Structure 1
Amino acid sequence: MISRSNEYKIVIATATQSTTSLMNVHIPYIGSASFKDHLVITNSKIELICRRSAKVKLDDIFYNNNSSLYQQITKALLCYYGLVRKYYPIVSIKIERSGMQGILETYIRSELEISQPLEPSYVLHYKLSETALQNILQETDKATLLRNALSHYLVANAKENEIQRFEKLWKSFNAVYKAMTGKNTDKDALIELRIFALQNKGNLIHSNKVSKCLTMLFTG
């Protein structure tokens, strides 16, 4: 059995003093079928506890988007901004690697060194539940598509330019309908989505209203 002797504690602090608890879960990570990481989210910070067998150079975590630690940070940020629904800039990121002897090394990135994931204009009017967000924390093809969709959706809600907002919303929609239908091509996915819409008119009231308005707009 491989020993996971390296514990990585990742704390992402944001610019708010509220300590309201938003999420406290254990989440799977890529490359492990049984072990999970611990994620705690409050209004003011994100905390991840991850145990790994490998020793990772701490400042390299931010540049390797294929690593499990990078992926867990991405998941956590998506959940955080989905739950707080407003812009709180990240003021610091602290990573500690610990072993049997205690804390072995520490890396801190300050606000000036951080590329903020969203723009200050970000606001989310639609409330996302913790239960719904837990779907993106899994390690499945569907969860990956949903993370991609949510990422574009959150960025769209930070765009003041309507063209840029529409582009991000469209990319989010693309990921959603592929996740819903399980189809790989846009054509096949849209066909399945149209069938679904026709069979579930009662559950798509707002979509039907928008469709009628657009039809009237473009057909006169």
Structure 2
Amino acid sequence: MAKSEFQSKKPNNIREYIELANDISDYKNRLKAIDFLSKYKCYESKKELYRLMKTDKIFAVKEQAFRALQNFGEDVRLTKKKKGKSVKTINDKLLILHNSFNGDPYTLTDFKIKFKDLYPYIYDIYNYEKKSKFDSFITSSIKTFAKRKIKHNYSINISFDAPDIFISREIFDMEYKGSSDTNDELEIKNDTLTIRSNRSAKINLINIVFSESNSIHNQIIKSLIYYYIKVNRFVPIKSISINRIKQTGEDTIISLPTTKIAVEQILNEKFISIDISTVNINDLFKSDDKSKAIQYALTYLLKSKITNEQSERFEKLWKSFNSIYHYLGNGANENECHRLIRNFILTNPTLFSKSHRKAKAITIKELREKVRFYELLSNDYDTKEKIVSFIAFVFRYQNKVVCKNLLDNISYFETDLKDIFNLDKVESKFNKFDYIKDLYHNNKSSSDKDIIFKKVKDYLEDKVKNPVPNTELEITAFICLKYCYYLRNKIFHAEKQDLTFRFAKNNLIFELEWVNEILETLIVELISTNVNWTRKN
């Protein structure tokens, strides 16, 4: 194919054609935009062409964008045209439109006008693909619908005080609990969110505002989570209107704020940004357990970004983390949930590059100064009955930084370790842990009664003298699981005074500041890689 000529510069009127490239209601405008952009090789042109090639629903548009980029000398690949329905939920959308007339008669023209108004991108796709058969496609689809299958259609419009925000139109299907054959829809454009829903039963619209168990209320929460991560800064909610869709148009039933009901801002100006791409949280719009875990984790994570109090921030971050590891545990007890998420982190190091970088910078001295090792260990292993669990804890670690700090505290457990063979049911206690049971069985006949203490100490000394490479994430796991869980119990169960009741920053506040940075980094990476989550069966 002969190369077309282009200029390596940015044209003055490029904004006009970028707007055309974002017109999802008419593929002809997008093709016109591509024709123009293909003549100017610049950052803006390439950005739009790449977007159209990757995301446009009409293959002819994708292909023309691909050809333009190829002509620029870009190394691009064009995916094959998908077979089957271009829009999987087309029947759902047509049914919503059909039911929006509430059983009243309508003409094909009425239907097409509303179709193009509510679902411009779907209208565009099928108008292109069906061409002269478009009308018959609509007519035949309508005939399959019952006269009054779903009666109640709603839209929720949320506007933000953000005139400077430019977001290309995005549309998502949103599942909801109890739905089997239809979904809600979220449309995002610039400073506006629109949720379109239909329900078989008439909803008390007040419940959408006040009842957190209401499915549409939950869709609003999910939409706000997504929007704030998308814009990556705080923008105030200006208004929320809840509308019932009728044949004659939308009838606004509730509009906030009112004289009695204010719009509460979810975030504030302290929220600056969060390092999560919206591409990685699309499962938020599903209605399964994973979606719920992501939703809960994100609400606490976002809230943690708007407080200056480190104790409050820690509480939010811990609850965010808790949501994730309880999902992975699938009903397992706390210890098993911790074991599973620890294993997930350590066996997938490539997913946690930022956490790894932070952990790698932590020295033996820093960990000793930031973590109250004696308080932690004496709290978790406070009786002789727990000494085998202490050994199991020690043998879970190979990292030099952690092992050196454990070695420095081994003397506190020396007496119990030396007397371990006199422990009641000691063999059964060791047998609970596959990786240390041989420590007991291989040494139980030894004449040296101090042998277990020596073996534990030797193990730690060896890890310090002969560091095992690539074990830095053990530091992350130790801090975020072992130590944070200890802090959580002390703070949440009122074993410490209210940490905001102080006249100056104390050591624990500085400690929490350090812990929070490490915990937040891990949570962000966990959420960003949720596609890799593995759940206990």
Q: TM-score, normalised to structure 1's length?
A: 0.88
The counterpart of 1:3, out of the listed 146, 149, 163, is 149
Q: Which has the larger radius of gyration?
A: 2
- The alignment status of 1:162 with 2:310, answered yes or no, reads yes
SS of the equivalent of 2:233 reads coil
Write the mapping of 1:75-86 to structure 2, written as runs, cut at 5 A.
75-86=222-233
Deviation at 1:19, TM superposition (A): 4.0
- The alignment status of 1:23 with 2:170, answered yes or no, reads yes
8 Å Cα contact 1:92-1:110 kept in structure 2: yes
| Match in the other structure for 1:146 | 294
Q: 1:15 to 1:195 in 2, by over 3 A?
A: same
The counterpart of 2:257, out of the listed 110, 120, 123, is 110
| Match in the other structure for 1:134 | 282
SS of the equivalent of 2:194 reads strand
106-115 or 61-70: bigger deviation: 106-115
For 1:84 and 1:25, locate their aligned partners in 2 and report how far apart those are by CA, in whole Å: 17
Q: 1:200 to 1:98 in 2, by over 3 A?
A: closer
Deviation at 1:211, TM superposition (A): 4.7
| Match in the other structure for 1:180 | 328
- The alignment status of 1:60 with 2:212, answered yes or no, reads no
Deviation at 1:29, TM superposition (A): 1.2
Q: What are the superposed Cα offsets for residues 108-134 of structure 1, whole Å, 9 maximum, x if unpaired?
A: 1128711111122112231422x3221
8 Å Cα contact 1:5-1:100 kept in structure 2: no
For 1:190 and 1:182, locate their aligned partners in 2 and report how far apart those are by CA, in whole Å: 12
| Match in the other structure for 1:125 | 274
Deviation at 1:153, TM superposition (A): 0.7
The counterpart of 2:240, out of the listed 93, 109, 134, is 93
What is the RMSD of the two structures over their aligned residues, measured on CA atoms?
2.4
Deviation at 1:147, TM superposition (A): 0.5
Q: 1:128 to 1:7 in 2, by over 3 A?
A: same
Higher-helix-fraction structure? 2
- The alignment status of 1:70 with 2:197, answered yes or no, reads no
Q: What are the superposed Cα offsets for residues 92-117 of structure 1, whole Å, 9 maximum, x if unpaired?
A: 00111023454345321128711111
Write the mapping of 1:25-40 to structure 2, written as runs, cut at 5 A.
25-40=172-187
| Match in the other structure for 2:28 | none
For 2:294 and 2:176, locate their aligned partners in 1 and report how far apart those are by CA, in whole Å: 16
SS of the equivalent of 1:24 reads strand
SS of the equivalent of 2:234 reads coil
For 1:22 and 1:182, locate their aligned partners in 2 and report how far apart those are by CA, in whole Å: 36
SS of the equivalent of 2:239 reads strand
Q: 1:22 to 1:103 in 2, by over 3 A?
A: closer
The count of corresponding residues between Structure 1 and Structure 2 is: 219
Q: Which amino acid aligns with 2:367?
A: T
Q: TM-score, normalised to structure 2's length?
A: 0.38
| Match in the other structure for 1:215 | 367
SS of the equivalent of 2:328 reads helix
Deviation at 1:194, TM superposition (A): 1.9
Deviation at 1:87, TM superposition (A): 0.7
- The alignment status of 1:196 with 2:347, answered yes or no, reads no
Higher-strand-fraction structure? 1
Q: What are the superposed Cα offsets for residues 59-108 of structure 1, whole Å, 9 maximum, x if unpaired?
A: 33111111111111111111111111111111100111023454345321
Q: 1:210 to 1:180 in 2, by over 3 A?
A: farther
SS of the equivalent of 1:145 reads helix
Unaligned runs of 5+ in 1: none
Q: What are the superposed Cα offsets for residues 6-39 of structure 1, whole Å, 9 maximum, x if unpaired?
A: 2111001111113422631111111111201110
Unaligned runs of 5+ in 2: 1-145, 374-404, 406-537
SS of the equivalent of 1:167 reads helix
Q: Which amino acid aligns with 1:87?
A: F
56-65 or 147-156: bigger deviation: 56-65
For 2:332 and 2:248, locate their aligned partners in 1 and report how far apart those are by CA, in whole Å: 49
